Amino acid sequence: MKKLFGWLICSALLFSCNESPKTAEKTDSKTGSDAPASGTKDYEFADDKFVGIAKKHTAYLESGDIDGWMNDFSDNAVYRWNNFDSLAGKAAITDYWKKRRTDVIDSMSFTDVIWLPIKVNKPQAPGQLAGNYALSWYVATAKYKTGKTMKQRIHTAFHFDANDKIDRVSQYLDRVPINAAMEK
């Protein structure tokens, strides 16, 4: 069971990594060191404050308050999806989600949410960031401007920089129900 849990966490974090080795920083967000102290595990539970930040962040998105939602992002944040599509920079993420919540989605809600704070001391794959993560699994329901509703399970991994700002979001979802709900 322990190995399965470890594998699940590592595989989730593997896909949340940055493909560009140039921008991948292996910095512990608490100590700023490039490597974990000797004797530490590759990963461990992180401080629950990261779950608190991510919960607050998610509530803003759910309510449609994109300006409030963006307060938790760093200026150089990257938002990526499992299909390798991504947005780079706070301005691009803001523009995308403001348009999405204004022109595409009437309302959204997140239920059956599970949170897990994880600290990666030693990256498990090239490009994976060390530091603190808040992992979440939930059921997302969105009502679209088309009048259709989409409901699906989604997994999101939030990575935090040294200032406890979200600098990486990796979201794993199925585009099929989203595309179907957007069709007129």
User: Edge-to-edge, what's the strand order for the sheet holding 149-160?
Assistant: 43-45, 105-120, 131-144, 149-160, 166-172, 73-81, 86-88
In this predicted structure, the answer to whether residue 20 has a pLDDT above a threshold of 70 is no
Mean pLDDT of 33-61: 84
pLDDT at 25 over 60: no
State yes or no: pLDDT of 147 exceeds 80: yes
The average confidence (pLDDT) of the chain is 85
Nearest by Cα to 130 from 157, 155, 161, 156:
161
CA 42/CA 36 separation, integer angstroms: 8
> Is 70 exceeded by the pLDDT of residue 61?
yes
pLDDT above 60: residue 182: yes
In the chain, domain spans = 2-182
User: What is the share, in percent, of the chain residues with pLDDT greater than 70?
Assistant: 79
Collapsed DSSP state (helix, strand, coil) of residue 65: coil
**What's the rounded mean pLDDT across residues 40-69?**
94
For residue 120, is pLDDT > 90? Answer: yes
Q: Which CATH architecture has domain 2-182?
A: Roll (3.10)
Report the distance separating Cα 152 and Cα 50, nearest Å: 24
Q: What is the mean pLDDT of residues 88-95?
A: 97
Task: Determine the pLDDT at residue 113.
Answer: 96
The pLDDT-based confidence of 83 (bands split at 50, 70, 90) is: confident
Residue 163, classed as helix, strand or coil, is coil
3-state SS assignment for residue 10: helix
Predicted local confidence at residue 28, as pLDDT:
45
